[in-house]
Structure 1
Amino acid sequence: MDNDLLLMKELTETAGPPGFEVRIHNLMRGQIERHTAHVISDNLGSIVGRMGEQGPKILLAGHMDEVAFMVSHITKDGFLRMQPLGGWWGHVVLAQRVKVLSRKGDLTGVTGSKAPHVLSIQERKNVLDIDTMFVDIGASSREEAEAFGVEVGDPIVPVCPFEVLPNPRLLLGKAWDNRAGCYVALKVMERLRQEDHPNTVYAGATVQEEVGLRGAQTLANTIAPDIAFALDVGVAGDTPGMNQKEGHSRLGAGPLLGFYDTSMIPHLNLRDLVIETARKHRIPYQIDLMPGGGTDAGKIHTANRGVPTMVVSVAARYIHSHVSIVHRDDLEHSIRLLVELIKILDHSMVERIKGLERHVGTVKAQGSIMEREPSYV
């Protein structure tokens, strides 16, 4: 593996449940310190590195947490009940390997439920509730499970090794939501070491996004950025059964530019600048409307007097499960786009973006991006 793939492997395989991000936080800190000595963290654990000493403050933030579980009860027979941390769909939870992060070390377990052989026909047709499932760690009693080190409140994380698929541009791993954003933030920092930029960049990742965008709020209050980019993943629509209404994005067709989600509509001038910059540098992009979710941008853009914010994501298959797939080209194009944007976000440009009139990157109605399929350039 090359160094970038090794970084992806380390990022995706490291545990980081919401509220228990210490391992991935420490990994992010170590990587950030490779690029800058100026590291800033809020009191919840969100972390960024600062590059530059003057000019507008530009925030780039992925989120380091992943969907996971917490031990909610230990049965008398030694099985563990689970409290979801983040959004899970029952169909993807069963018969999967997990790790319980106990005080005595990591314990391997498997998720289980009643066997389908004893379910009624109607029960088989329904998605099983997660509160009927359990984790089997091989304990024969509550006392034995506790002797292993398990306590109520311990986090439980999925297990999935990172792997490059036969098409080497497709990358399989745990927690691409949202170690993809963490990777992009780190690589932008690396590229900026070779570039002049007229601003102060804060790049890194937040905590507890999957349980309410909490770290985004505290980090935005800590940094008080002038412009922000939330780096995340979006739902790929290129698998069987998906229709145009449900999703039209596809792997390898460029970063997803968020035009709408339940938490934010992007600032118009910033949105237009991002589009124009992508076109100017012939960077492919796709337009993303997500009526069923939100990102850290939802909290960042309402901080203080308001922060013009844009979501730059990569399409991912099978998010909020034990495994997901992204395209390496989408990661690279996201990095290129963000670097080009940072190079032009000087004081004058930021003030123009903040203005009420549509000064920057006006997109004409005739033949506009809203009237075409997503641009794949």
Structure 2
Amino acid sequence: MKNLDETLTMLKDLTDAKGIPGNEREAREVMKKYIAPFADEVATDGLGSLIAKKVGLDNGPKIMVAGHLDEVGFMVTQIDDKGFIRFQTVGGWWSQVMLAQRVTIVTKKGDVTGVIGSKPPHILSPEARKKPVDIKDMFVDIGASSKEEVLAWGVKPGDQIVPYFEFTVLNNEKMLLAKAWDNRIGCAIAIDVLKRLRNANHPNVVYGVGTVQEEVGLRGAKTSAHSIKPDIAFAVDVGVAGDTPGVSEKEAQGKMGDGPQIILYDASMVSHKGLRDLVTDTADELRIPYQFDSIAGGGTDSGAIHLTANGVPALSITIATRYIHSHAAMLHRDDYENAVKLIAEVIKRLDRETVEKITFD
């Protein structure tokens, strides 16, 4: 592996951490390690979301920057007599990216390595070979010969099964390949926004948040926003990159390296126009590249946060990413760094008067 600088080391630690919805402890501890030096206090809510608070001015507007800790994965549901493991997907999966992929089962006794298997194509009918394998027909093989052996190794129903992939810097060193970019990159942005603001003079209270259970319904966003009661919120997440063969601009217009994506609309929220205008005006002023996108069939934590209390102006800012919800996704380092810069600069421009103008004008 290439030598990793401070930022790449953090990104590796975050993406290597294992944490499907409801099992985010390991990822949370990594985020806590990196964000604590830049926060006045760090807390965890009852559902498990991490909330790091940095005060610029005690009574200033509360600004929430949230990325979700959880990644898509699987859960052990059954162990058959021959030692094969049946599982439930946790978060959205496309069956065609799952077969023959290495996974890690996290047990009380330690990690157990396995691979996702199915009936071999060599014994299928010609018609069956043309069809994708249903997830219900897949299993995890850990090399056991009996149910008793599986249990002896510590595997039991309810254990999380996590995709395995090692963080990799590609030959183009701006291109980064890893599991769990969705959404450890959002957690990294929250960390680095607080880091960038550590010596800045601004009249706000900034919260860097790692939410839990986003992939199964924005659940940690609800509880953490209820705790914070933010005046302004940013959800930072991955977006779809449409710059691969066969994808038209009508299907996906995001391009890696063209800057963070400003989400106009998704299935859970219409972006707040006043906040969106402030963000794009700031980017234009500082010549920070950005691109617009909309997500007709998905959403981010903004969808829950903006409905908190009597309503919160919110905006989703995403990083164009290839191959999300799979074992190996790819993004561009410049997009990440420009997202950090943009959000930090917007926060510097926020104060009570500006927030009220955004909210009520």
TM-score > 0.5, shorter chain as reference: yes
Code of the aligned partner of 1:31: Y
User: CA–CA distance in 2 between the matches of 1:186 and 1:170?
Assistant: 20
Instruction: Quote the offset at 1:270 in angstroms.
Output: 0.8
Instruction: Tell me the alpha carbon deviations over residues 118-168 of structure 1, each in whole angstroms, 9 at most, x when there is no partner.
Output: 122222222211111000001100010000000011000000000100000
Given that 2:65 and 2:208 are in contact with CA atoms closer than 8 Å, whether structure 1 keeps it comes out as yes
Task: Point out where structure 2 has 5 or more consecutive residues left out of the alignment.
Answer: none
Matching of residues 224-243 of structure 1 within 5 Å:
224-243=229-248
Q: How many residues align?
A: 356
Given that 1:32 and 1:204 are in contact with CA atoms closer than 8 Å, whether structure 2 keeps it comes out as no
Given that 2:45 and 2:51 are in contact with CA atoms closer than 8 Å, whether structure 1 keeps it comes out as no
2:100 alignment partner, SS class:
coil
User: CA–CA distance in 2 between the matches of 1:145 and 1:84?
Assistant: 20
1:157 alignment partner, SS class:
strand
User: CA–CA distance in 2 between the matches of 1:276 and 1:67?
Assistant: 35
Q: Does 1:13 align with 2:16?
A: yes
Instruction: Quote the offset at 1:204 in angstroms.
Output: 2.2
Equivalent position to 1:294, from 299, 318, 323: 299
TM-score, length-scaled by structure 2: 0.97
Equivalent position to 2:287, from 282, 306, 329: 282
1:269 alignment partner, SS class:
helix
Aligned to 1:90: 95
Q: Does 1:326 align with 2:331?
A: yes
User: CA–CA distance in 2 between the matches of 1:348 and 1:155?
Assistant: 47
User: CA–CA distance in 2 between the matches of 1:239 and 1:346?
Assistant: 41
Given that 2:10 and 2:34 are in contact with CA atoms closer than 8 Å, whether structure 1 keeps it comes out as no
Aligned to 1:338: 343
1:306 alignment partner, SS class:
coil
User: CA–CA distance in 2 between the matches of 1:168 and 1:194?
Assistant: 29
Aligned to 1:198: 203
User: CA–CA distance in 2 between the matches of 1:206 and 1:137?
Assistant: 31
TM-score, length-scaled by structure 1: 0.93
Instruction: Quote the offset at 1:40 in angstroms.
Output: 2.5
Code of the aligned partner of 1:38: E
Instruction: Tell me the alpha carbon deviations over residues 272-295 of structure 1, each in whole angstroms, 9 at most, x when there is no partner.
Output: 111111111100001011111111
2:309 alignment partner, SS class:
coil
Code of the aligned partner of 1:179: R
Given that 1:56 and 1:200 are in contact with CA atoms closer than 8 Å, whether structure 2 keeps it comes out as yes
Equivalent position to 1:310, from 306, 315, 337: 315
Aligned to 1:102: 107
- How large is the Cα RMSD of the aligned pairs? 0.8
User: CA–CA distance in 2 between the matches of 1:293 and 1:122?
Assistant: 33
Given that 1:209 and 1:295 are in contact with CA atoms closer than 8 Å, whether structure 2 keeps it comes out as yes
Equivalent position to 1:257, from 256, 262, 273: 262
User: CA–CA distance in 2 between the matches of 1:275 and 1:129?
Assistant: 43
Task: Point out where structure 1 has 5 or more consecutive residues left out of the alignment.
Answer: 358-377
Aligned to 1:46: 49
Instruction: Tell me the alpha carbon deviations over residues 168-212 of structure 1, each in whole angstroms, 9 at most, x when there is no partner.
Output: 000001100001101111111111112111100001210000011
User: CA–CA distance in 1 between the matches of 2:283 and 2:200?
Assistant: 18
Instruction: Tell me the alpha carbon deviations over residues 191-249 of structure 1, each in whole angstroms, 9 at most, x when there is no partner.
Output: 11121111000012100000110000001101000000000000100001101111011
User: CA–CA distance in 1 between the matches of 2:239 and 2:125?
Assistant: 36
Code of the aligned partner of 1:159: Y
1:34 alignment partner, SS class:
helix
Q: Does 1:220 align with 2:225?
A: yes
Q: What percent of counterpart residues are identical?
A: 53
Aligned to 1:29: 32
Instruction: Quote the offset at 1:114 in angstroms.
Output: 0.4
Matching of residues 107-122 of structure 1 within 5 Å:
107-122=112-127
Q: Does 1:3 align with 2:6?
A: yes
2:53 alignment partner, SS class:
strand
Code of the aligned partner of 1:19: G
Instruction: Tell me the alpha carbon deviations over residues 309-332 of structure 1, each in whole angstroms, 9 at most, x when there is no partner.
Output: 000110000000001001000001
Aligned to 2:182: 177
User: CA–CA distance in 1 between the matches of 2:35 and 2:45?
Assistant: 15
User: CA–CA distance in 1 between the matches of 2:11 and 2:255?
Assistant: 21
Q: Does 1:246 align with 2:226?
A: no
1:171 alignment partner, SS class:
strand
2:38 alignment partner, SS class:
coil
Instruction: Quote the offset at 1:96 in angstroms.
Output: 0.5
Given that 2:62 and 2:207 are in contact with CA atoms closer than 8 Å, whether structure 1 keeps it comes out as yes
User: CA–CA distance in 2 between the matches of 1:185 and 1:312?
Assistant: 12
